[in-house]
Amino acid sequence: MIQMDEKIQGIYQEVLKRNPGETEFHQAVLEVLECLGPVIVKHPNFADRKIIQRICEPERQIIFRVPWMDDNGEVQINRGFRVEFSSALGPYKGGLRFHPSVYLGIIKFLGFEQIFKNSLTGLPIGGGKGGSDFDPKGKSDDEVMRFCQSFMTELYRHLGEHTDVPAGDIGVGGREIGYMFGQYKRITNRYEPGVLTGKGLTWGGSLVRTEATGYGATFFVNEMLKARKDSFEGKICTVSGSGNVAIYTIEKIHQLGGKCVACSDSNGVIYDEKGLDLDLIKQLKEVERRRIEDYIKTHKHAKYIAKGNIWEIPCQVAMPSATQNEINGKDAATLVKNGCIAVGEGANMPTTPEGVKLFLEAKIAYGPGKAANAGGVATSALEMQQNAGRDSWTFEYTEKKLEDIMINIHNNCFETADEYGAPGNYVLGANICGFIKVANAMVAHGLI
Ligand code: NDP
Ligand code: 2IT
């Protein structure tokens, strides 16, 4: 990684001081700032206009109480967040995460990453993120509904197709988007599909949105492999997580000729030497909402490793698709030692800075989340486009658009890395390419 110049170091110190305790946010900011030294040299007006300082400060942060009643008639209170980070390129756009670990630092790291990711898609979307420390695990359908209704009863006033358009993330899928859309419609008395993405197909959703993040990440890795005159054909792959992103990553890997032998959840790892049975995983996770451990009840030959570490399983392609900081320095070293040649991040910031450094030094094909997982939000933008035109596109047409977007992101990151003297460094390419577009728009909009 390039040495940070003094000016940027000072900006980073100020971010630490202004945002105490928000370690994930600090990590995300540092990774971007470390890449911007040469950009400031080429574009001195960005420094004059204090673009970096401004981009590190969200335009608006909303924190609110979410009271709801559980099935036992007991009152529960959670905390809701929406961080509207940047509207330089379009309305705030980004998912909602429901997970007990959520606090402001997590939402701000995700919102910050989202600015550059959304810029890379080439589509007119700004960056934002939200969520709650609500834990959907073990809750009944009715409890999830009551929570979502209460959450939207506050959030609705901040949304709008030209203002802020949330979608899903960890713990938020089609079911939750449905309950939130219903409540939005009820409060406002307006049928406005453009206010949320990831909707059901019969009420304004887009084909391919469900598959988009996983498919997109796999398309991105496919491009990195192609750039090295290689392909997925016959590659042994591992994919962490077993949620939305993991499932459709596995599906696309299999379609492209790879063999995915392991996935996981926060309790343990499934290893199936014969290749994962995706129909079973979909049934367990999407239909029955069970734990991945139950895979071995049907497939006795497979192994379940309770509290296991998926990165210890040898693979050629690893696609972390669960959560932040799930690959540390030691895991990265193990992956490289075991012959891993490509890592594509379906999750947001799944690799620690030590891990990233190791991947870059080993010169494996490493696709950072803000580039590799941009297919989800890109397809959300395609959903917005269809909603605005009261249209709905076919699966094939939409998937082709997604693939073209991912190829474009890959090529832009690749070429930017070359231009800045760091060939093959997609971290540098993604951060610089994503940043410049936002910075130029901010300069054009004046001091706001
Ligand atoms: P889901 O809720 O569908 O699935 C999350 C998966 O990750 C589950 O298997 C879950 O296991 C595991 N997981 C979550 N938190 C942890 C944790 N703290 N430790 C270990 N495992 C964990 O979420 P998604 O698949 O939508 O999201 C996965 C990742 O992809 C996230 O980083 C998200 O930000 C990112 N992403 C998602 C996009 C989308 O469109 N959905 C778009 C771009 C990025 P368990 O069930 O045990 O909790
Ligand atoms: O991290 C992400 O890009 C998402 N969770 C998807 C956001 C979106 O608006 O589709």
Q: Are residues 351 and 238 in the same domain?
A: yes
Q: Are residues 305 and 281 in the same domain?
A: yes
C-beta separation of 165 from 195 below 8 A: yes
Report the sign of the C-alpha dihedral through residues 198, 221, 426, 332, in that order.
positive
Against a cut of 0.85, is the pTM above it?
yes
pLDDT tens digits, one per residue of 291-323: 999 999 999 999 999 999 999 999 999 999 999
Domain count, the chain: 3
Asked if residue 378 belongs to a domain, the reply is: no
Strand partners, 304: 270
C-beta separation of 312 from 332 below 8 A: no
In this prediction, what percent of the chain has a pLDDT beyond 90?
98
Asked if residue 419 belongs to a domain, the reply is: no
Please classify residue 328 by burial: count the beta carbons closer than 10 Å to its beta carbon, then call 0-12 exposed, 13-18 middle and 19+ buried.
middle
Q: Does the active-site annotation cover 129?
A: yes
Q: From 170, 240, 294, 327, give the residue whose CB has the most ligand 1 atoms within 8 Å, as the site to mutate.
A: 170
What is the C-alpha to C-alpha distance for residues 193 and 177, in angstroms, rounded to an integer?
Answer: 11
Q: Has residue 36 got a pLDDT over 60?
A: yes
Q: Which helix (H) or strand (E) holds 410?
A: helix 395-419
pLDDT tens digits, one per residue of 14-25: 999 999 999 999
pLDDT tens digits, one per residue of 338-357: 999 999 999 999 999 999 99
Any atom of ligand 1 within 6 Å of the Cβ of 347: yes
Q: Are residues 185 and 89 in the same domain?
A: yes
Q: From 98, 169, 211, give the residue whose CB has the most ligand 1 atoms within 8 Å, as the site to mutate.
A: 169
Asked if residue 320 belongs to a domain, the reply is: yes
Asked if residue 410 belongs to a domain, the reply is: no
**216-231 average pLDDT score:** 98
Q: Has residue 255 got a pLDDT over 50?
A: yes
Q: Are residues 225 and 366 in the same domain?
A: yes
Amino acid letter at 243?
G
Return the closest-CA partner of residue 96 out of 141, 162, 58, 151. Answer: 151
Q: Which ligand has the nearest atom to the CA of 93?
A: 2
**399-418 average pLDDT score:** 98
Q: Which ligand has the nearest atom to the CA of 372?
A: 1
pLDDT tens digits, one per residue of 119-131: 999 999 999 999 9
Any atom of ligand 1 within 6 Å of the Cβ of 249: no
Any atom of ligand 1 within 6 Å of the Cβ of 429: no
- What atom of ligand 1 comes closest to residue 110's alpha carbon? 34
- What atom of ligand 2 comes closest to residue 93's alpha carbon? 9
Confidence of residue 1 (pLDDT cuts 50, 70, 90): very low
Asked if residue 152 belongs to a domain, the reply is: yes
Residues spanned by the domain of 170: 60-192
Any atom of ligand 1 within 6 Å of the Cβ of 309: no
275 alpha carbon – ligand 2 mean position (Å): 28
Q: Are residues 77 and 126 in the same domain?
A: yes
142 alpha carbon – ligand 1 mean position (Å): 22
Q: Are residues 125 and 10 in the same domain?
A: no
From the candidates 93, 129, 199, 370, which is the catalytic residue?
Answer: 129
Q: Are residues 31 and 144 in the same domain?
A: no
Q: How many CB atoms lie within 10 A of CB 274?
A: 10
Parallel, antiparallel, or unpaired for β 127-132 and 75-86?
antiparallel
**364-378 average pLDDT score:** 98
- Ligand 2 — pocket residues by CB below 6 A? 93-95, 114, 117, 167, 169, 197, 348, 376-377, 380
Asked if residue 440 belongs to a domain, the reply is: no
Return the closest-CA partner of residue 220 out of 436, 24, 399, 366. Answer: 366
pLDDT value of residue 3 = 62
What is the pLDDT of the chain when averaged over all its residues?
97
Q: Which helix (H) or strand (E) holds 374?
A: helix 374-388
Parallel, antiparallel, or unpaired for β 317-319 and 236-239?
parallel
Asked if residue 422 belongs to a domain, the reply is: no
pLDDT value of residue 4 = 77
C-beta separation of 213 from 375 below 8 A: yes
CATH number of 342's domain: 3.40.50.720
Q: Are residues 51 and 69 in the same domain?
A: no
| Residue nearest to ligand 1 atom 48, measured at CA | 266
pLDDT value of residue 231 = 98
Query: How distant, in Å, are the alpha carbons of 80, 93, 408, 418 from that of 24?
Result: 18, 20, 28, 29
| Residue nearest to ligand 2 atom 3, measured at CA | 377
